[in-house]
A = this chain, B = another copy of it.
Amino acid sequence: MLIDIGSTVSFLKSHDNFTILTHAHPDGDTLGSGFGLCLALRALGKKANVVNNEELPPKFRYLEIEPQEFAEQTVVAVDIADANLMGNDIKAEYETKVDLSIDHHGSNRLFAKMNYVDSSAAAAAQIIFEVIGLLGVEITPQIANCLYTGISTDTGCFRYANVTPATLRTAAKLMEAGADAAKINVMMFETKTRTYAALEKLALDGMQFFYDGKCALITITRDMFAESGSDENECDGIAAISRQIEGVLVGVTVRERRDGSFKASVRTHNPVDASAICSRFGGGGHPNAAGCQLPGTKDEAIKQLIDVIGEFI
Chain A contact residues, majority secondary structure:
helix
Q: How many residues of chain A have a CB within 8 Å of chain B?
A: 40
Chain B residues with Cβ below 8 Å from A3 are none
Given A157-B158, A246-B191, A246-B194, CB of A175 within 8 Å of CB of B164: yes
Are the C-beta atoms of A172 and B168 separated by less than 8 Å?
yes
CB distance from A121 to the nearest CB of B (A): 15
The stretch that binds B, out of A63-71, A134-142, A179-187, A276-284, is: A179-187
- In the bound complex, residues from chain B placing their C-beta under 8 Å from that of A158 are 157-158, 168, 171, 185
A271 at the interface (CB under 8 A from B): no
Q: Does A45 contact B (CB under 8 A)?
A: no
**Which residues between 185 and 199 of chain A lie within 8 Å of chain B, taking CB atoms?**
185-186, 189-194, 197
Check if A201 is an interface residue, CB within 8 A of chain B.
yes
Count of chain copies: 2
A21 to B245, CA, bound (A): 33
Residue A244 CB within 8 A of the other chain: yes
- Distance A163 CA – B181 CA, assembled complex (angstroms): 9
Q: Which of B160, B168, B243 contacts A182 (CB 8 A)?
A: B160
- State the CA gap A14–B213 with chains docked (Å): 54
Q: Which of A168, A191, A193, A244 has the most CB atoms of chain B within a 10 A radius of its CB?
A: A168
Report the separation of the CA atoms of residues A246 and B193 in the bound assembly, to the nearest whole angstrom. Answer: 5
Residues of B within 8 A of A243 (CB): 190
Contacts A163-B182, A169-B168, A205-B201; A192 near B269 (Cβ below 8 A): no
Contacts of A197 in B (CB 8 A): 204, 245
Q: Separation in Å of the A62 CB from the closest CB of chain B?
A: 15
> Which residues on B sit within 8 Å (CB–CB) of A175?
163-165, 168
Q: Which residues of A, 123-169, contact B by the 8 Å Cβ criterion? A: 156-161, 163-166, 168-169
Assembly CA distance A231 to B201 (angstroms): 21
Q: Which of B182, B189, B191, B245 contacts A192 (CB 8 A)?
A: B245
Q: Does A89 contact B (CB under 8 A)?
A: no
Closest Cβ of chain B to A239, distance in Å, is 12
Q: How far is the CA of A244 from the CA of B246 in the complex (A)?
A: 23
Asked if B159 and A165 sit within 8 Å, CB to CB, the answer is no
CB distance from A104 to the nearest CB of B (A): 17
The complex places the Cα of A194 from the Cα of B207 at a distance, in Å, of 12
If A168-B172, A204-B204 are given as contacts, then 12 extra A-B residue pairs at C-beta distance below 8 Å, sorted by A number, are A157-B158, A158-B158, A163-B181, A165-B175, A166-B172, A168-B168, A168-B169, A190-B240, A193-B245, A197-B245, A200-B204, A201-B205
28 contacts between A and B (CB under 8 A): A157-B157, A157-B158, A158-B158, A158-B185, A159-B182, A159-B185, A159-B189, A159-B190, A160-B182, A160-B185, A161-B182, A164-B175, A165-B176, A166-B172, A168-B168, A168-B172, A168-B175, A169-B169, A169-B172, A190-B243, A192-B245, A193-B246, A194-B213, A194-B245, A197-B245, A200-B204, A201-B201, A201-B205
